[in-house]
């Protein structure tokens, strides 16, 4: 059986979780296959973080997950990236289930099933 799909103004995204293969089809573009195990990163809460800081946090966690397997190493690399990008603050990263901190800036990030907080205090 043939199935006609009108691409029109629609974007079709198929996600096969077992193979981590993403197929993206857009009008006037070719199909893109991504077989890299890209982590799913989401922001659940942010305090005084600019939009660019939030994007940099997501990118930093993706980079850490791409290259490092232990959670301690991942926290260290994210902290290092933010310390270099934003040297006016003292940055800390923790993997958590619950926390209580007093910070100037912070962002809660979930990567797959792991929860993290990236936060800054005065230098």
Indicate the pLDDT class of residue 36, thresholds 50, 70 and 90: low
Q: Give, for 3, the enclosing helix (H) or strand (E).
A: none
Top mean pLDDT of 6-15, 17-26, 101-110 is at 101-110
41-122 maps to CATH 1.20.1440.130: no
Average pLDDT over residues 7-20: 29
Q: Is the pLDDT of residue 28 over 70?
A: no
Distance CA 52, CA 75 (A): 20
Whether residue 89 contacts residue 119, with contact meaning beta carbons closer than 8 Å, is answered with no
SS (H, E, C) the chain: CCCCCCCCCCCEEEEECCCCEEEEECCCCCCEEECCCCCCEEEEEEECCCHHHHHHHHHHHHHHHHHCCCHHHHHHHHHHHHHHHCCCEEEEEEECCCCCCCCCEEEEEEECCEEEEEEEEEC
Check residue 41 and give its pLDDT: 94
Q: Which residue has the higher pLDDT, 8 or 55?
A: 55
Percent of the chain's residues with pLDDT above 70: 69
Please tell me the pTM assigned to this model. 0.63
Domain definitions of the chain by residue range:
1-38, 41-122
């Amino acid at each position: 059986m043939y199935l006609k799909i009108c691409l029109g103004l629609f974007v079709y995204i198929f996600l096969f979780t077992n193979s981590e293969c993403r197929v993206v089809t857009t009008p006037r573009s070719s199909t893109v296959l991504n077989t890299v195990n890209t982590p799913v990163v989401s922001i659940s809460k942010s305090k005084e973080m600019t939009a660019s800081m939030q994007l940099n946090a997501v990118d930093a966690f993706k980079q850490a997950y791409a290259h490092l397997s232990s959670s301690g190493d991942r926290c260290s690399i994210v902290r290092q990236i933010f310390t270099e990008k934003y040297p006016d603050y003292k940055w800390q990263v923790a993997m958590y289930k619950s926390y209580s901190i007093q910070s100037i800036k912070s962002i809660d990030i979930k990567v797959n099933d792991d929860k993290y907080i990236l936060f800054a205090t005065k230098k």
